[in-house]
A and B are shown apart, each in its own frame.
Chain A
C-alpha cells in the first residue's frame, strides 16, 4: 500500500473475535503493548489486543514488514507513532480509534486523527455538554435541531472535534472550545481556530457503517485539492454479513 498525497487510508477491524483469534493476535503484540492491554478489564483487554494487532497488520502492510516487526513508540502526549527504527518512513502517520467492537485505523502522509463513535446519547445531556465543551457556533448548530437529529449532529460534531485534537497530537489537552467545526454543510470543515490556521486542516466524515459515525482530520499540504479517503477492512473476509456457498464443480450452470 502506498501512502501519499491527501488520501487517508482507513482500515476497519472487528474486535469481537473468538478466543482462538485472540491468541493469534496477542502473539503479534510487543510485551509493552500486551501489558498495557492486560491492565484493562476483560472486554478492554480483548479489544486492545485486537486493535493493536490490527494496527500492526496495517502498518506492516504499509511498511512491507511482518506485523510483529513494526516498531512503535509514543509521542510526547502518548500518541503512538512509528519508532525511529523505521528511518525514512517518518511521513507515515497513523491514528487509531475504537468504539465498541469496531476499530478504525487511519494512515496518511501527514498528521492525521480519527474518531469513531456509536451515537448513543444515554447519560449525556447534549446541550449542557455542548455548553461546557463546544464552541459557540457548534452549540448554535446543535440548538437548531431536536430528537434523533440532535443526537446525530452532536456526534458528528464530537467526532470531528475529537479527530482534530487527535490529529494535533494533544487529545483532550486541547480545549475543545478553542476551535469550531461545521458538520452541517456537505463538507465538514474547521471554521474557526483561535490558535492556528483553519486552512491548514481538512476534515471529513467517512461513512463507515450505519451504526457508527466517524470523522478524520488531516493536516493538508500546501496547494492540495482536498481530502479523499478509502475505506477497507483489515481482513477482507470479515467484511460484512453475507454468506456464499462456493460454486460446485459438478453442478451445471450457465
Chain B
C-alpha cells in the first residue's frame, strides 16, 4: 500500500494579512510603552517588534529585569542576580527575590475601580455571580486562614477535583497564599486517571464538591469520590465547595468552604501576604507522556507570574478596562493562565456549563461585554459547520481579540472569524502545560496571517531545529528553546535527581529545551505549528501515549521488545499506529498472533490504541545512551530525513524496518494472503477481524452481535469482493451474518453471478431445508426462524430474482418454481425434499412440489407458513361473503365520507368482484426494488390457481388474522388431497417470523418435520 506523504511546502512570502492593527492602537499598546521604556533604560533603539524580540532573547537577563521593574509587581529582596546560569536546564531566575502570587493577582492596580466586578461566574441553571476585587480578596484571605488552621503548611500539596467556578478560583488562590501547591483534575476524568496523578503528590487536602447533578457527569460522582478518597491515604481532610451531604464511605473530616470562609472572615481589608521565594512551587500540572505514569510538572510562583504578566500585558494587551473570557476546564493549564490575568487588572469571566449550542460561548461574550475571548479551533469549527454567525445574532461590540489554542487553527477559520465575528485579530497561541505559557502567540502591534501565530514569545529564544541532512527548502523543524526562561518548570515532583526531567526536555538536543512540536517560522517572525514531533500518537484527534500499548505487550512472553509510532498521511489528523515488535526466538508473528495482539490492546488499552500495522523487526533503533528512538522510526515512515540519525547506535536498523512495514502493509491489504490461498473461511475471518478490530471470531458468531455496522459490513464486502474478483451483493451480511454462511454464499457466488440460494445455517449433516421468500422476495426475514429451528441439515433460503437491477423479477409462479428448482437441484440433486414457503412463498413451494413430483421426485415435507392465496381462488360461497364483508368494512367508512368520495369505493367493489381488473392495495413505504418484486409477486399471486395436489402438506396459521385478506384455508383444504394438517401459531402474519412468536413457529415446524 502506498499513500502520498505529507507535502509541507508553504509559501510564507506571498501572503496577505487577514488583519492589520490600527496604527493608533499600536501606538497605545502596552507593548509599545514597554519598548519605549526599554529604549529609555538602555539607550538603544527598537524600530519594530522583530528588533525588540532580538534584544529580548540576546539580552534576556536585561529583558526580564526591566519587565519586572516596569510591571510594578509586588516583591521584596534584591533583583540581582537575574538568572544564575546560561543553560536552560540549570538556570534559576531571581534567587533572592520573594513574592506572593496571590498578592500580585489580588491587589488593586493603580487607578482601578474597586467597585467593579473582577470575577464573574456564569452558570447554566443558576444566576450569574459577580465579585469585586475586595470581595474576592477577603474570601481568599479567609479561606487561606482556614487552610492554615487545618494544618496546611508551605510545600503541602492541595488537590482539587472541580469545575471552573468562582469557588475554584478562591480555592486555588488561597492554596498558593499559604505556600501550598494547587493541582486540579476535572470531574470527568476516570478514577484511575485522577489517582495516577494525585497519588504521586501525597496530598493532604482534597477540594471537591458532592453535587450529584453537576453538569455532565456520566456516572455517579459520589461513588467515584469515595474511590478517589480511598485511593489517597495521605489525605487529612476534604473541603466541599457545596452543601451536599458527603457520601457514605468517607471517614475523613469534611469541611464546607462556605463555613470556613464565614468563620474566618476578617472585616479589615488589610492583608499581610506571606512572600515566598521566587522559585517556591505554585502549581503542579500533569502531562501524560510516552512512558510511565503522568509527569507532575512543578511550576514556580515567580516564573509563572512573570511569564503570565508578560503574555497578558505585552502580547495580549490586557489592562484594567479589559474582560477576558477564556473557555477552559479547571484542569487545563489555560485555567491557571486566565486566573493570572487578574494581575494585569483585567476582569475574568468563568463558565462551568456545557456548550449546548454554537451560541453558548458567544452569548457569554456578548452579555458580559467580553473584550478578549479565548476558545479552541473545534468550537470555531462547530459554529462554522452549522452556519452560525455570531455577528448576525449578537452584539459583539466590546470584543477586540479572539484567542485560540489547543489544536491547530486552520487557515479558513481566520477568514470565518473575520466574516462572521468581526474585524478582530485571531491570535493562535501555543505552548503548553510544560511551560504554563506560550512559545508563540499574539501581538497588538503585528498583522495576522492566516494559519499563523503572530510572533514568538518575548524573551524566549524559540528556534526551528532542522536536521543537517534536511533539504534547505523545508523550513519545518523541531521547536526548541535555547535560552533560560522563568517559566521553565522547577522539575517533576518526585523526580529527586532530575533524571526524568532531563530525559523529557533536554536529552534529545543537549542544552536545548525540546518541546515536541513541529514548527515553521517565517522571515517576519510569525510561526506555524505542524503538530507533535514526539512519540505521543495522535490518531483521529485523540492523544495516545504508546506506554499504554507497551503495558499490554509486556504480558506477552513472545515479545521481547516493541515500539509503537504514529504514521501520518496528508494531515496530522489522519494518522495510524504502526507497531514494531521484536520477538524471542520461539515466537512467530503469524495472523493469529497479530489478532491476539490487536484483541489484547483493544481490550486492555482501548480500540483507539489498536495498531493498523504490526510488523516484526530484528531490532529497534536506539540512541547511544540506549534509549529507543521512536522519532527516528517516525521520520523514516513519513519519508522525511531522520533528524537524529547521528544520535543512533544502529542507524542500519531503519532500512530493515521500512521494508518490514511495507511488507506488513501489503499483507494487511490481503494480496499476499490471497496468493497464498488461505481457505475461504480464513479469508473471511481475516477480513472480519480486520474490519471489526477484534479477534478471534468464531465461525458462527453473528457479525452484528460483534459490533458490526452497515459501514463495516460494506468494508468487509469491499475486501472480499476484491479477493474474489466478483461483486458480493450489498445485503450479503444481512443474509449471511456469520462466517460460515458467508463462506457458503461466496462459494455460490463463485459458481453463478446471482444465486437464488442463500445458506442460512450450515447444519451438521442431514437433508437440506429450503425456505422460499414471501411477496417482497427477500429472505433475511428467515434469519431468526433458521436460528431457532436447529435443523440438522443445511437451511437454505430462496430469494426472488430482480432484487438487484440486473434482472427482471418473475411474474408467474410456475416460472419462479422452475427457476428456483434449478438452484435447489445444485444443492440437492434428488429428493426427498423439504420445502417451506412463507406467505406468497407458500404458493411457490406448492408449485415446486407439483413440478418435482411430476419429475418423479419425492417430497418429504411441504410446509405452508400462513400461505396466502388470491381471493379469486376462493370457491364462490367463500368469496362472496368475504367480498361483501370487505365492501361493508370499506363502504362503512365511505358512508361517513363526503358523497363525492363514495364513487371510488364502488369502483373498488367492482374491481374486487371482477378479479380480472387490476387493483392495488395501499402503496407501501418500501424500497423501489422491493416494490418492483412485490408488484410482480402480486401479479403472480393473482394469476395463480393451485391445482389439486395428491400428497400431504402442513399449514402454519397465524392466529391473528389480517383484515382485508381472505382466509385461504378452504382452498388449501380442497387442493391438498393427501391431507392438510393445520398448526395455529400465536401472532400476526408477519410477526410469526420474528421474536418472540418465531419461537412457537420454530417449535411447531421442528415437530412437524420430525413427525413426517
Contact = CB atoms under 8 A, between A and B. Distances in A.
Interface in A70-111: 73-74, 76-78, 98-99, 111
B943 interface: no
B195 interface: no
B925 A169 contact: yes
Interface string A23-63: 00000000110011001110110010000000000000000
Interface stretch (B122-130, B444-452, B642-650, B900-908): B122-130
Interface in A218-254: 219, 237-254
Interface in B918-951: 925-932
Interface in B390-436: none
B930 A173 contact: yes
A121 interface: yes
B576 A122 contact: yes
A21 interface: yes
Given A44-B706, A118-B540, A248 B216 contact: no
Given A133-B714, A158-B711, A244-B165, A172 B731 contact: yes
B804 A175 contact: yes
B167 interface: yes
A79 to B, nearest CB: 10
Contacts of A14: 218
Interface stretch (B28-36, B255-263, B366-374): B255-263
A18 B131 contact: no
B776 A76 contact: yes
A207 B386 contact: yes
A245 B162 contact: yes
B705 A44 contact: yes
B188 interface: yes
A244 B163 contact: yes
Interface in A166-181: 168-176, 178
A121 B356 contact: no
B188 A18 contact: no
A141 to B, nearest CB: 17
Nearest to A150: B570
A78 B355 contact: no
Contacts of B168: 245
B805 A173 contact: no
Interface residues of B, number: 107
Given A76-B990, A242-B353, A245-B167, A40 B715 contact: no
A170 B930 contact: yes
A10 to B, nearest CB: 13
Interface string A179-204: 00000001000000011100000000
B574 A121 contact: yes
Most chain A beta carbons < 10 A, residue from B163, B165, B714: B714
Given A18-B220, A178-B929, A243-B215, A251 B994 contact: no
A239 B354 CA distance: 7
Given A133-B730, A248-B258, A43 B707 contact: yes
Contacts of A240: 215-216, 354-356
B715 A123 contact: yes
Interface stretch (B239-247, B336-344, B497-505, B658-666): B239-247
A241 B366 CA distance: 23
A237 B219 contact: no
A248 B706 contact: no
Interface stretch (B51-59, B206-214, B270-278, B456-464): B206-214
A176 B730 contact: yes
B329 interface: yes
A17 B218 contact: yes
Most chain B beta carbons < 10 A, residue from A239, A251, A253: A251
Interface stretch (B377-385, B551-559, B618-626): B377-385
B927 A248 contact: no
A243 B573 CA distance: 29
Nearest to A39: B705
Given A243-B162, A245-B163, A248-B257, A162 B711 contact: yes
A244 B93 CA distance: 38
Nearest to A252: B135
A251 B778 CA distance: 68
A245 B188 contact: no
B480 interface: no
Nearest to B733: A172
B214 A245 contact: yes
A251 B990 CA distance: 65
B71 interface: no
A243 B382 contact: no
Nearest to A83: B991
B102 interface: no
B508 interface: no
A124 interface: yes
A250 B262 CA distance: 8
A243 B217 contact: yes
A123 B162 CA distance: 40
Interface string B230-266: 0000000000011110000000000011110110000
A117 B211 CA distance: 33
Given A14-B218, A20-B220, A195-B928, A242 B707 contact: no
A8 interface: no
Given A111-B925, A195-B929, A249-B258, A129 B715 contact: yes
Interface string B989-1001: 0110011100000
Nearest to B385: A207
Nearest to A84: B988
B475 interface: no
Contact of A151 (B261, B574, B926): B574
Contacts of A31: 996
A168 B216 contact: no
B925 A168 contact: yes
B596 interface: no
B574 A129 contact: no
A119 B991 CA distance: 37
Contacts of B926: 76-77, 168-170
B129 A254 contact: yes
Given A246-B211, A253-B129, A172 B713 contact: yes
A64 interface: no
Contacts of A250: 258-259, 262
B694 A41 contact: yes
B961 to A, nearest CB: 13
A124 B927 contact: no
Contact of B219 (A17, A124, A178): A17
A82 to B, nearest CB: 14
A76 B781 contact: yes
Interface string B525-557: 000000000000000110000000000000000
Given A122-B576, A171-B734, A245-B167, A238 B218 contact: yes
A167 B603 CA distance: 34
Given A77-B781, A168-B927, A41 B707 contact: yes
Interface string A112-150: 000101111111110011001100000000000011100
28 contacts: A18-B219, A36-B995, A77-B780, A117-B709, A121-B574, A122-B576, A123-B612, A123-B715, A125-B718, A133-B718, A148-B571, A158-B711, A172-B730, A174-B927, A174-B929, A176-B730, A240-B354, A242-B214, A244-B163, A244-B215, A245-B163, A246-B209, A248-B242, A248-B243, A250-B262, A251-B258, A251-B261, A253-B129
- List of 10 A-B pairs having minimum Cβ-Cβ separation, nearest first: A195-B928, A243-B163, A240-B354, A147-B570, A170-B927, A245-B241, A248-B258, A245-B209, A246-B242, A250-B258
Given A174-B927, A242-B215, A244-B165, 19 more contacts: A20-B220, A41-B705, A73-B994, A77-B926, A119-B540, A121-B574, A123-B691, A168-B927, A169-B926, A169-B927, A173-B927, A195-B927, A207-B358, A219-B925, A241-B186, A243-B214, A243-B217, A246-B211, A246-B243
Interface of A: 14, 16-18, 20-21, 31-32, 35-36, 39-41, 43-44, 47, 73-74, 76-78, 98-99, 111, 115, 117-125, 128-129, 132-133, 146-148, 151, 158, 162, 165, 168-176, 178, 186, 194-196, 207, 210-211, 219, 237-254
